[in-house]
Structure 1
Amino acid sequence: MSLRFARWAAYACLPLILAGCGGAVRVEPPTPEGAAAAACRALGERLPRVLDGLERVETTPVSPYVAVWGKARIALRCGVPRPVTMMATDQVPEINGVAWFNDPERPALFTAIGREAYVEVTISREHVPQNVLLDLATPIKETLPQTG
């Protein structure tokens, strides 16, 4: 295994730890407060049961701020901090009305920005990120108001 692949795998799996075969997927939940917490709870209720062909699965600990599809192939955390590598001058693509920052150091990590809360999505290499982000855009727009 190359060092580059090992580094990518470590970054991609950072927020995800499997809790054992057949069990719930362990994902560290964020701790949003106030309006961001309320918006994230609303988002959790609007997320799809199936995303890019994967069923939504149980997570541990149970949190209204976390969703996982397909045993951690796609994971969402709502109410995370602003990406530390994001600069004010960064150009970010917009997919169906939602701006997504893609961390150059963590290519599998995308963060919806410019909303009531930051929404972090980790997408495994088996999936096309644009398809996943497109499917998440509608519930994000419906529940997380734009800021600024």
Structure 2
Amino acid sequence: MLLGPSAALLLMAAAGCSPGDASASVAVPSPSPEAAAYCRALDKELPDTVAGLEREDPGPGSELTAGWGDGAIVLRCGVPRPAEMDDDQSKGITADGVNWMLEQREDDGPRLTTTLRKAYVEVTFSKAYAHDTTPLAALAPAVKKTVPNRL
């Protein structure tokens, strides 16, 4: 189910707005060669700033991961398809033409994963950015340009 921007803001606000502990290290995905090629192209198109935060990629360095604000916003490309996508009750939003499945995380901000794309792109937010879909809109042009629809 895809929700409009207003509903998405409410859902994200429910995740909490207090700052969380940022993590500057993430697990690097192991995608198929086809997905890895899309991810490398995406890495080259990602913006230098998102939500006013400078790009600061997490360790270990990889073309499959990116970050802004020392872990406040983290992107991983080529992640496995989340099992939650099989749940017809899962929540989703659309930001600038890119569909995202929303997962609320108990101890942190939300995790969103693209749907209907040839590579899965995951974005996690710290609680400080849980109330704002602006980062997704900033990332959408790069995703649309480099990771084709499955359709």
Normalised-by-shorter TM-score class? 0.7 to 0.9
Contact 2:30 2:78 in 1 (8 A): yes
- Identity of matched residues, %: 38
Contact 2:22 2:126 in 1 (8 A): no
Deviates more, 1:62-71 or 1:101-110: 101-110
Whole-angstrom distance in 2 between the partners of 1:140 and 1:133: 10
2:39 maps to which residue? 40
TM-score (norm 2): 0.77
Whole-angstrom distance in 2 between the partners of 1:17 and 1:70: 8
Residue 109 of structure 1, aligned match among 108, 111, 117: 111
Deviation, 1:60, is 1.7
Deviation, 1:93, is 2.0
Deviation, 1:95, is 1.4
Deviation, 1:105, is 4.8
1:25-69 CA-partner distances (Å, limit 9, x unpaired): 211110112211100000001001111011111422111000011
Matches within 5 A, 1:25-64: 25-64=24-63
Aligned length: 130
TM-score (norm 1): 0.78
| Alpha carbons of structure 1 residues 131 and 80: separation in structure 2 relative to 1, 3 Å | same
Matches within 5 A, 1:116-135: 116-127=118-129, 128-135=131-138
Considering Cα pairs closer than 8 Å and 6+ residues apart, tell me whether 1 or 2 has the greater RCO: 2
Whole-angstrom distance in 2 between the partners of 1:56 and 1:39: 20
Whole-angstrom distance in 2 between the partners of 1:60 and 1:92: 29
State the one-letter code of the partner of 1:33: S
Deviation, 1:124, is 1.4
Deviation, 1:108, is 1.2
Contact 1:67 1:75 in 2 (8 A): yes
Runs of at least 5 residues in structure 2 that lack an aligned partner in the other structure: 1-14
Does 1:99 pair with 2:99?
yes
Contact 2:91 2:102 in 1 (8 A): no
Whole-angstrom distance in 1 between the partners of 2:82 and 2:115: 9
| Alpha carbons of structure 1 residues 33 and 17: separation in structure 2 relative to 1, 3 Å | farther
2:147 maps to which residue? 144
RMSD after superposition: 2.3
| Alpha carbons of structure 1 residues 134 and 42: separation in structure 2 relative to 1, 3 Å | same
Contact 2:58 2:71 in 1 (8 A): no
Runs of at least 5 residues in structure 1 that lack an aligned partner in the other structure: 1-7, 19-24
